[in-house]
Chain A
Amino acid sequence: MAAPTALRPVRLFAALCLFLAGCGPQPEQPVTRLSDINADSVVIVGRLELQPPLRPNEQQLKMGTFDPFDAADRFRDRGFLWFGRVADTPAEKGDFVMNPRLGETYFLRVPKNTPYLLGGYIMAQYVTRMTSPRSMTVDDSRIEIPGGVRYDIRPGDRAIYVGTLVLHRDEFNEVTKAVIVDDYAPAAAAFKQRFGQGTELRKAIPRTEAPRRAAQ
Protein backbone atom coordinates (compact mmCIF):
# COMPACT_ATOMS: atom_id res chain seq x y z
CA MET A 1 0.00 0.00 0.00
CA ALA A 2 1.21 3.46 -0.86
CA ALA A 3 1.99 6.10 1.69
CA PRO A 4 -0.63 8.54 2.93
CA THR A 5 -1.11 11.21 0.34
CA ALA A 6 -0.51 14.69 1.66
CA LEU A 7 1.30 16.75 -0.91
CA ARG A 8 2.63 20.20 -0.28
CA PRO A 9 2.10 23.07 -2.74
CA VAL A 10 5.42 22.85 -4.58
CA ARG A 11 5.18 19.08 -4.89
CA LEU A 12 1.59 19.45 -5.96
CA PHE A 13 2.49 21.89 -8.71
CA ALA A 14 5.44 19.81 -9.85
CA ALA A 15 3.37 16.63 -9.83
CA LEU A 16 0.63 18.22 -11.87
CA CYS A 17 3.08 19.65 -14.41
CA LEU A 18 4.95 16.37 -14.74
CA PHE A 19 1.77 14.39 -15.05
CA LEU A 20 0.18 16.66 -17.60
CA ALA A 21 3.40 16.66 -19.59
CA GLY A 22 2.97 12.93 -19.94
CA CYS A 23 5.36 11.46 -17.41
CA GLY A 24 3.18 8.41 -16.82
CA PRO A 25 4.11 5.16 -18.54
CA GLN A 26 4.72 5.87 -22.21
CA PRO A 27 3.10 3.05 -24.13
CA GLU A 28 3.93 1.90 -27.63
CA GLN A 29 1.84 3.12 -30.54
CA PRO A 30 0.17 0.48 -32.76
CA VAL A 31 2.25 -0.62 -35.74
CA THR A 32 0.90 0.56 -39.08
CA ARG A 33 3.71 -0.57 -41.41
CA LEU A 34 5.92 -3.63 -41.07
CA SER A 35 8.80 -1.64 -42.53
CA ASP A 36 8.87 0.30 -39.24
CA ILE A 37 9.92 -2.86 -37.43
CA ASN A 38 13.66 -3.46 -37.21
CA ALA A 39 15.41 -6.79 -36.66
CA ASP A 40 15.47 -6.30 -32.89
CA SER A 41 11.70 -6.07 -32.57
CA VAL A 42 8.63 -8.12 -33.35
CA VAL A 43 4.99 -7.28 -33.91
CA ILE A 44 2.85 -8.96 -31.29
CA VAL A 45 -0.72 -9.62 -32.34
CA GLY A 46 -3.31 -10.53 -29.76
CA ARG A 47 -6.23 -9.31 -27.73
CA LEU A 48 -6.90 -8.43 -24.11
CA GLU A 49 -10.39 -9.07 -22.74
CA LEU A 50 -12.03 -8.49 -19.41
CA GLN A 51 -14.94 -10.66 -18.26
CA PRO A 52 -17.35 -9.25 -17.35
CA PRO A 53 -16.38 -6.22 -19.45
CA LEU A 54 -16.14 -2.71 -18.03
CA ARG A 55 -19.58 -1.16 -17.67
CA PRO A 56 -20.31 2.32 -19.06
CA ASN A 57 -18.71 4.90 -16.77
CA GLU A 58 -17.26 2.19 -14.52
CA GLN A 59 -13.80 3.68 -14.96
CA GLN A 60 -13.53 6.90 -12.99
CA LEU A 61 -10.82 8.98 -14.61
CA LYS A 62 -10.32 12.56 -13.49
CA MET A 63 -6.76 13.59 -14.09
CA GLY A 64 -7.20 17.07 -12.70
CA THR A 65 -9.31 20.16 -13.08
CA PHE A 66 -8.23 20.25 -16.70
CA ASP A 67 -6.64 17.59 -18.86
CA PRO A 68 -5.34 19.34 -21.99
CA PHE A 69 -3.33 16.33 -23.16
CA ASP A 70 -6.23 13.94 -22.57
CA ALA A 71 -4.07 11.79 -20.32
CA ALA A 72 -7.21 9.91 -19.30
CA ASP A 73 -7.41 8.43 -22.78
CA ARG A 74 -4.35 6.29 -21.99
CA PHE A 75 -6.44 4.51 -19.37
CA ARG A 76 -9.91 4.57 -20.90
CA ASP A 77 -10.93 1.04 -21.99
CA ARG A 78 -7.28 0.02 -22.04
CA GLY A 79 -4.91 -2.20 -20.12
CA PHE A 80 -1.22 -1.73 -19.40
CA LEU A 81 1.04 -4.72 -20.01
CA TRP A 82 4.67 -4.70 -18.90
CA PHE A 83 7.38 -6.76 -20.56
CA GLY A 84 10.86 -7.53 -19.30
CA ARG A 85 14.12 -9.30 -19.99
CA VAL A 86 14.00 -11.26 -16.73
CA ALA A 87 11.00 -13.24 -15.49
CA ASP A 88 10.95 -12.12 -11.87
CA THR A 89 11.11 -8.37 -12.49
CA PRO A 90 8.30 -6.53 -10.66
CA ALA A 91 5.73 -5.61 -13.30
CA GLU A 92 6.00 -1.84 -13.13
CA LYS A 93 9.79 -2.02 -13.23
CA GLY A 94 9.58 -3.78 -16.57
CA ASP A 95 11.58 -2.64 -19.57
CA PHE A 96 8.71 -2.06 -21.92
CA VAL A 97 5.01 -1.23 -21.68
CA MET A 98 2.11 -1.37 -24.07
CA ASN A 99 -1.50 -0.44 -23.53
CA PRO A 100 -3.88 -2.27 -25.85
CA ARG A 101 -7.52 -1.32 -26.10
CA LEU A 102 -9.72 -3.90 -24.41
CA GLY A 103 -11.58 -6.27 -26.71
CA GLU A 104 -9.74 -5.20 -29.88
CA THR A 105 -7.01 -6.99 -31.77
CA TYR A 106 -3.73 -5.19 -31.16
CA PHE A 107 -0.62 -4.93 -33.31
CA LEU A 108 2.16 -3.70 -31.09
CA ARG A 109 5.92 -3.68 -31.34
CA VAL A 110 7.88 -5.42 -28.59
CA PRO A 111 11.69 -5.66 -28.39
CA LYS A 112 12.79 -9.26 -28.93
CA ASN A 113 14.91 -9.20 -25.78
CA THR A 114 11.86 -8.60 -23.54
CA PRO A 115 9.87 -11.83 -23.95
CA TYR A 116 8.41 -11.98 -20.43
CA LEU A 117 4.94 -10.62 -19.83
CA LEU A 118 5.44 -9.47 -16.25
CA GLY A 119 1.88 -8.32 -15.54
CA GLY A 120 -0.02 -5.11 -15.64
CA TYR A 121 -3.29 -3.47 -14.78
CA ILE A 122 -6.51 -1.91 -15.98
CA MET A 123 -7.13 1.37 -14.22
CA ALA A 124 -10.52 1.27 -12.52
CA GLN A 125 -10.18 4.64 -10.87
CA TYR A 126 -7.74 7.53 -11.07
CA VAL A 127 -9.15 10.63 -9.50
CA THR A 128 -7.10 13.62 -8.45
CA ARG A 129 -8.85 15.86 -5.97
CA MET A 130 -7.95 18.97 -4.09
CA THR A 131 -8.17 18.31 -0.39
CA SER A 132 -7.45 21.90 0.56
CA PRO A 133 -6.24 25.01 -1.28
CA ARG A 134 -2.71 23.73 -0.79
CA SER A 135 -2.91 19.98 -1.11
CA MET A 136 -4.19 17.26 -3.39
CA THR A 137 -4.63 13.54 -3.30
CA VAL A 138 -5.01 10.80 -5.89
CA ASP A 139 -7.54 8.02 -5.41
CA ASP A 140 -6.65 5.10 -7.60
CA SER A 141 -7.75 1.52 -7.86
CA ARG A 142 -6.74 -1.10 -10.34
CA ILE A 143 -7.66 -4.43 -11.81
CA GLU A 144 -4.34 -6.21 -11.61
CA ILE A 145 -3.27 -8.42 -14.51
CA PRO A 146 -1.20 -11.44 -13.55
CA GLY A 147 2.08 -12.07 -15.30
CA GLY A 148 4.30 -15.12 -15.48
CA VAL A 149 4.09 -15.68 -19.21
CA ARG A 150 7.01 -16.07 -21.61
CA TYR A 151 6.40 -15.36 -25.26
CA ASP A 152 8.23 -17.63 -27.68
CA ILE A 153 9.97 -14.95 -29.73
CA ARG A 154 12.48 -16.38 -32.21
CA PRO A 155 15.33 -14.53 -33.95
CA GLY A 156 13.71 -14.66 -37.41
CA ASP A 157 10.25 -13.56 -36.28
CA ARG A 158 8.64 -10.41 -37.65
CA ALA A 159 5.14 -11.02 -36.27
CA ILE A 160 3.73 -13.51 -33.80
CA TYR A 161 0.21 -14.27 -32.65
CA VAL A 162 -0.06 -14.67 -28.86
CA GLY A 163 -3.80 -15.33 -28.42
CA THR A 164 -6.56 -13.58 -26.52
CA LEU A 165 -5.77 -13.08 -22.86
CA VAL A 166 -9.14 -13.33 -21.11
CA LEU A 167 -9.22 -12.02 -17.55
CA HIS A 168 -12.14 -13.17 -15.42
CA ARG A 169 -12.80 -10.84 -12.50
CA ASP A 170 -14.99 -11.08 -9.44
CA GLU A 171 -17.21 -8.34 -8.07
CA PHE A 172 -14.27 -6.78 -6.18
CA ASN A 173 -12.16 -6.48 -9.35
CA GLU A 174 -9.92 -9.36 -8.35
CA VAL A 175 -8.77 -11.35 -11.37
CA THR A 176 -9.77 -14.88 -10.43
CA LYS A 177 -8.79 -16.63 -13.63
CA ALA A 178 -6.68 -15.79 -16.66
CA VAL A 179 -6.90 -17.93 -19.77
CA ILE A 180 -5.39 -17.63 -23.22
CA VAL A 181 -7.77 -18.40 -26.07
CA ASP A 182 -6.75 -19.23 -29.62
CA ASP A 183 -8.51 -16.82 -32.00
CA TYR A 184 -5.91 -17.17 -34.72
CA ALA A 185 -8.16 -17.15 -37.82
CA PRO A 186 -9.79 -13.72 -37.29
CA ALA A 187 -6.49 -12.28 -36.03
CA ALA A 188 -4.63 -13.55 -39.13
CA ALA A 189 -7.34 -12.07 -41.37
CA ALA A 190 -7.01 -8.70 -39.62
CA PHE A 191 -3.20 -8.94 -39.92
CA LYS A 192 -3.42 -9.53 -43.68
CA GLN A 193 -5.86 -6.69 -44.11
CA ARG A 194 -3.57 -4.33 -42.22
CA PHE A 195 -0.18 -5.32 -43.63
CA GLY A 196 -1.03 -7.17 -46.85
CA GLN A 197 0.19 -10.56 -48.01
CA GLY A 198 3.73 -11.82 -47.71
CA THR A 199 4.52 -11.76 -44.03
CA GLU A 200 3.87 -14.77 -41.88
CA LEU A 201 1.98 -14.35 -38.63
CA ARG A 202 3.46 -17.21 -36.66
CA LYS A 203 1.21 -18.71 -34.03
CA ALA A 204 3.07 -18.53 -30.70
CA ILE A 205 0.42 -18.93 -28.05
CA PRO A 206 2.25 -19.28 -24.74
CA ARG A 207 1.65 -21.92 -22.15
CA THR A 208 0.82 -20.10 -18.95
CA GLU A 209 3.01 -20.85 -15.97
CA ALA A 210 1.83 -20.46 -12.40
CA PRO A 211 0.18 -17.04 -12.39
CA ARG A 212 1.50 -14.46 -9.99
CA ARG A 213 0.25 -11.08 -8.89
CA ALA A 214 1.48 -8.16 -10.95
CA ALA A 215 2.62 -6.24 -7.89
CA GLN A 216 4.78 -9.05 -6.54
Chain B
Amino acid sequence: MMRRPIVLLLGFLLLFVAGCAADPVDPKDPRLSLVYGYIDMADAPSSLGWVRIKLYDGKNQGYSAAVKKGLFFHVGVEPGPYQVERFGRHTTFFSNTEYSYDFGTRGRNETAVRIDKPGVYYMGAYKYVEIHTGWFEQGKFKMERTETPSERELLARLATILQDDYPQYTRQIAMVRQRLAQLR
Protein backbone atom coordinates (compact mmCIF):
# COMPACT_ATOMS: atom_id res chain seq x y z
CA MET B 1 0.00 0.00 0.00
CA MET B 2 2.86 2.38 0.62
CA ARG B 3 4.53 1.83 -2.75
CA ARG B 4 2.03 3.67 -4.87
CA PRO B 5 3.01 7.22 -3.80
CA ILE B 6 6.67 6.44 -4.46
CA VAL B 7 5.87 5.08 -7.93
CA LEU B 8 3.81 8.18 -8.66
CA LEU B 9 6.59 10.42 -7.40
CA LEU B 10 9.17 8.61 -9.50
CA GLY B 11 6.94 8.85 -12.56
CA PHE B 12 6.48 12.57 -11.97
CA LEU B 13 10.22 13.05 -11.55
CA LEU B 14 10.95 11.17 -14.78
CA LEU B 15 8.43 13.29 -16.68
CA PHE B 16 9.87 16.44 -15.13
CA VAL B 17 13.44 15.57 -16.07
CA ALA B 18 12.37 14.55 -19.58
CA GLY B 19 10.61 17.89 -19.95
CA CYS B 20 13.79 19.74 -19.01
CA ALA B 21 15.82 18.23 -21.83
CA ALA B 22 16.28 20.43 -24.89
CA ASP B 23 15.52 18.99 -28.32
CA PRO B 24 18.73 17.54 -29.70
CA VAL B 25 20.05 19.08 -32.90
CA ASP B 26 19.88 16.73 -35.87
CA PRO B 27 23.41 16.69 -37.35
CA LYS B 28 21.99 15.85 -40.78
CA ASP B 29 19.41 18.63 -40.96
CA PRO B 30 20.53 20.72 -43.96
CA ARG B 31 18.47 23.79 -42.97
CA LEU B 32 20.41 24.53 -39.79
CA SER B 33 23.08 27.18 -39.36
CA LEU B 34 25.91 27.70 -36.92
CA VAL B 35 25.92 30.99 -35.01
CA TYR B 36 28.80 32.18 -32.86
CA GLY B 37 30.31 35.20 -31.13
CA TYR B 38 32.43 36.25 -28.20
CA ILE B 39 31.98 38.23 -24.98
CA ASP B 40 34.93 39.39 -22.89
CA MET B 41 33.81 39.53 -19.27
CA ALA B 42 37.16 40.50 -17.74
CA ASP B 43 35.70 43.74 -16.31
CA ALA B 44 32.29 42.31 -15.42
CA PRO B 45 31.14 41.29 -11.94
CA SER B 46 30.80 37.68 -13.10
CA SER B 47 32.10 35.26 -15.68
CA LEU B 48 30.08 34.25 -18.74
CA GLY B 49 27.94 31.15 -18.22
CA TRP B 50 25.11 31.47 -20.70
CA VAL B 51 24.02 33.47 -23.73
CA ARG B 52 20.45 33.71 -24.94
CA ILE B 53 19.98 34.20 -28.68
CA LYS B 54 16.46 35.38 -29.37
CA LEU B 55 14.42 34.71 -32.49
CA TYR B 56 12.43 37.82 -33.39
CA ASP B 57 9.31 36.16 -34.71
CA GLY B 58 6.87 37.49 -32.12
CA LYS B 59 6.69 34.17 -30.31
CA ASN B 60 9.53 34.84 -27.86
CA GLN B 61 11.56 31.81 -28.81
CA GLY B 62 15.27 31.37 -29.24
CA TYR B 63 18.32 29.35 -28.30
CA SER B 64 20.61 28.96 -25.34
CA ALA B 65 24.12 29.03 -26.76
CA ALA B 66 26.95 26.86 -25.49
CA VAL B 67 29.74 28.88 -23.86
CA LYS B 68 33.47 28.13 -23.68
CA LYS B 69 35.75 30.82 -22.24
CA GLY B 70 33.80 33.72 -23.69
CA LEU B 71 33.11 32.03 -27.02
CA PHE B 72 29.42 31.29 -27.48
CA PHE B 73 27.88 29.20 -30.24
CA HIS B 74 24.92 27.13 -31.34
CA VAL B 75 25.11 24.47 -34.03
CA GLY B 76 21.41 24.16 -34.87
CA VAL B 77 19.86 27.54 -35.63
CA GLU B 78 16.86 27.67 -37.95
CA PRO B 79 16.34 30.50 -40.46
CA GLY B 80 15.06 33.83 -39.09
CA PRO B 81 16.13 37.12 -37.51
CA TYR B 82 18.23 36.73 -34.35
CA GLN B 83 20.24 38.76 -31.90
CA VAL B 84 21.80 38.25 -28.49
CA GLU B 85 19.17 39.22 -25.99
CA ARG B 86 20.76 38.44 -22.64
CA PHE B 87 23.74 36.78 -21.13
CA GLY B 88 24.85 35.94 -17.63
CA ARG B 89 25.93 33.30 -15.21
CA HIS B 90 24.00 30.85 -13.09
CA THR B 91 24.78 30.22 -9.46
CA THR B 92 27.97 28.30 -8.76
CA PHE B 93 29.31 26.23 -5.90
CA PHE B 94 31.06 29.32 -4.53
CA SER B 95 28.39 31.93 -5.27
CA ASN B 96 24.62 31.77 -5.00
CA THR B 97 24.20 34.96 -6.99
CA GLU B 98 22.71 34.65 -10.42
CA TYR B 99 23.73 37.31 -12.93
CA SER B 100 21.69 38.44 -15.92
CA TYR B 101 22.75 41.22 -18.29
CA ASP B 102 20.76 42.86 -21.09
CA PHE B 103 22.57 43.14 -24.37
CA GLY B 104 20.43 46.05 -25.45
CA THR B 105 16.85 44.88 -25.63
CA ARG B 106 15.46 48.16 -26.91
CA GLY B 107 15.42 47.49 -30.60
CA ARG B 108 18.19 46.21 -32.82
CA ASN B 109 21.62 45.69 -31.30
CA GLU B 110 24.98 45.05 -32.95
CA THR B 111 24.67 41.28 -32.82
CA ALA B 112 21.60 41.23 -35.08
CA VAL B 113 21.77 38.74 -37.95
CA ARG B 114 19.20 37.54 -40.42
CA ILE B 115 19.66 33.90 -41.37
CA ASP B 116 18.25 33.37 -44.83
CA LYS B 117 20.22 30.33 -45.91
CA PRO B 118 22.22 27.71 -43.99
CA GLY B 119 25.76 28.78 -43.12
CA VAL B 120 28.10 30.13 -40.48
CA TYR B 121 27.02 33.44 -38.94
CA TYR B 122 29.28 35.61 -36.80
CA MET B 123 27.61 37.88 -34.23
CA GLY B 124 30.83 39.70 -33.36
CA ALA B 125 33.22 40.02 -30.42
CA TYR B 126 32.30 42.33 -27.55
CA LYS B 127 33.70 43.56 -24.30
CA TYR B 128 31.73 44.31 -21.15
CA VAL B 129 32.63 47.87 -20.11
CA GLU B 130 31.45 49.28 -16.82
CA ILE B 131 30.14 52.85 -16.79
CA HIS B 132 31.01 54.82 -13.70
CA THR B 133 27.94 55.97 -11.76
CA GLY B 134 27.61 57.92 -8.55
CA TRP B 135 26.89 56.67 -5.07
CA PHE B 136 23.45 55.13 -4.60
CA GLU B 137 23.01 55.01 -8.36
CA GLN B 138 22.31 51.79 -10.17
CA GLY B 139 25.39 50.41 -11.88
CA LYS B 140 25.52 50.57 -15.66
CA PHE B 141 27.54 49.01 -18.40
CA LYS B 142 27.85 49.03 -22.17
CA MET B 143 28.91 46.42 -24.69
CA GLU B 144 31.80 47.56 -26.85
CA ARG B 145 32.73 45.91 -30.11
CA THR B 146 36.29 44.62 -30.02
CA GLU B 147 38.65 43.40 -32.75
CA THR B 148 40.46 40.99 -30.46
CA PRO B 149 40.11 38.09 -30.63
CA SER B 150 39.58 38.19 -34.38
CA GLU B 151 36.83 36.34 -36.22
CA ARG B 152 39.45 33.98 -37.61
CA GLU B 153 40.90 33.24 -34.18
CA LEU B 154 37.47 32.50 -32.75
CA LEU B 155 36.56 30.31 -35.69
CA ALA B 156 39.76 28.31 -35.25
CA ARG B 157 38.90 27.82 -31.57
CA LEU B 158 35.38 26.81 -32.54
CA ALA B 159 36.68 24.26 -35.05
CA THR B 160 38.79 22.64 -32.32
CA ILE B 161 35.87 22.58 -29.85
CA LEU B 162 33.53 21.03 -32.40
CA GLN B 163 36.10 18.47 -33.45
CA ASP B 164 36.85 17.45 -29.86
CA ASP B 165 33.45 17.73 -28.16
CA TYR B 166 30.86 17.50 -30.94
CA PRO B 167 32.38 15.30 -33.67
CA GLN B 168 28.94 14.13 -34.82
CA TYR B 169 28.27 17.57 -36.35
CA THR B 170 30.31 16.87 -39.45
CA ARG B 171 28.26 19.26 -41.60
CA GLN B 172 28.85 22.14 -39.19
CA ILE B 173 32.56 21.29 -38.91
CA ALA B 174 32.85 21.35 -42.69
CA MET B 175 31.07 24.74 -42.84
CA VAL B 176 33.46 26.16 -40.21
CA ARG B 177 36.49 24.90 -42.13
CA GLN B 178 35.14 26.37 -45.35
CA ARG B 179 34.69 29.74 -43.69
CA LEU B 180 38.15 29.52 -42.14
CA ALA B 181 39.59 28.99 -45.58
CA GLN B 182 37.80 32.12 -46.79
CA LEU B 183 39.29 34.17 -43.96
CA ARG B 184 42.90 33.23 -44.66
Residues of A within 8 A of B (CB): 1-6, 54-55, 57-58, 60, 121, 124-125, 131-132, 134-135, 137, 139-144, 170-175, 215
Contact A144 B106 (CB under 8 A): yes
Q: Given A1-B103, A140-B105, is A172 in contact with B140 using a C-beta cutoff of 8 Å? A: no
Q: Are B103 and A137 in contact (CB under 8 A)?
A: no
- Which B-chain residue is minimally distant from A138 (CB atoms)? B100
> What residues of B have a CB within 8 angstroms of the CB of A139 in the complex?
86, 100, 105
Number of A-B contacts (CB under 8 A): 89
- Point out the residue from A5, A131, A174 that lies within 8 Å of B107, measured CB to CB: A174
B99 lies within 8 A of chain A by Cβ: yes
Q: Does B102 count as interface, using CB distance less than 8 angstroms? A: yes
| Cβ–Cβ contact B108 & A2, under 8 A | no
Q: Is the CB of A171 within 8 A of B139?
A: no
**Dominant SS among interface residues on chain B:** loop
Q: Known A60-B60, A172-B107; judge A3-B83 contact (CB<8 A).
A: no
Minimum C-beta distance from B116 to chain A (A): 12
Quick check: which of B9-17, B90-98, B158-166, B169-177 contacts chain A, the rest being far away? B90-98
B46, A4: Cβ atoms closer than 8 Å: yes
In the complex, what residues of B have CB within 8 A of residue A4's CB?
44-46, 88, 99-101, 139, 141
Q: Which residues in A have their C-beta under 8 angstroms from that of B100?
A: 4-6, 131, 137, 139
Are A1 and B97 CB-contacts (below 8 A) given A139-B86, A173-B56, A173-B107? no
Q: Which residues of A contact B141 (CB under 8 A)?
A: 1, 3-4
| With A3-B139, A57-B59, A172-B112 as contacts: A135 and B107 at CB distance below 8 Å | no
How far, in Å, is B51 (CB) from chain A's closest CB?
Answer: 14
Q: A58-B60, A142-B106 are in contact. List 12 more A-B contacts (CB 8 A).
A: A1-B102, A1-B103, A1-B104, A2-B140, A60-B60, A121-B106, A131-B98, A132-B91, A137-B100, A171-B56, A171-B81, A215-B106
Interface residues of B in 62-116 (CB under 8 A from A): 81, 83, 85-86, 88, 91, 96-109, 112, 114
Interface magnitude class on chain B? 35 or more
Q: Are B112 and A1 in contact (CB under 8 A)?
A: no
Verify if B182 is at the interface (C-beta below 8 Å from A): no
| Nearest residue, chain B, Cβ from A172 | B108
Provide the B43-54 mask, 1 if CB < 8 A to any CB of A, else 0: 011100000000
- Separation of A133 and B138 alpha carbons in the complex (Å): 23
Interface residues of B in 12-49 (CB under 8 A from A): 44-46
Q: Which 7 A-B pairs have the closest CB atoms?
A: A141-B105, A174-B107, A3-B139, A131-B98, A172-B108, A55-B58, A174-B108
Return chain B residues, CB-CB under 8 Å to A171. 56, 81, 114
A137 to B: closest C-beta gap in Å: 5
Q: Is B117 an interface residue (CB 8 A)?
A: no
The residue of chain B having its C-beta at the shortest distance from the C-beta of A124 within the complex is B105
In the assembled complex, how far is the CB of residue A76 from the closest CB belonging to chain B, in whole angstroms?
Answer: 15
Bound together, the chains give a CA A55 to CA B61 distance in angstroms of 14
Question: How many Å from the CB of A201 to the closest CB on chain B?
Answer: 34
Contact call A58/B58, Cβ cutoff below 8 A: yes
Partner of B98, one of A137, A174, A215: A137
List, sorted by A's number, 5 A–B pairs whose CB atoms are closer than 8 Å.
Answer: A1-B104, A2-B138, A4-B44, A4-B88, A170-B108
Do A172 and B97 touch across chains, with their CB atoms under 8 A apart? no
Q: Tell me if B152 counts as interface (CB < 8 A to partner A).
A: no
B180 on the A face (CB < 8 A): no
A144 proximity list for chain B (CB < 8 A): 106-107
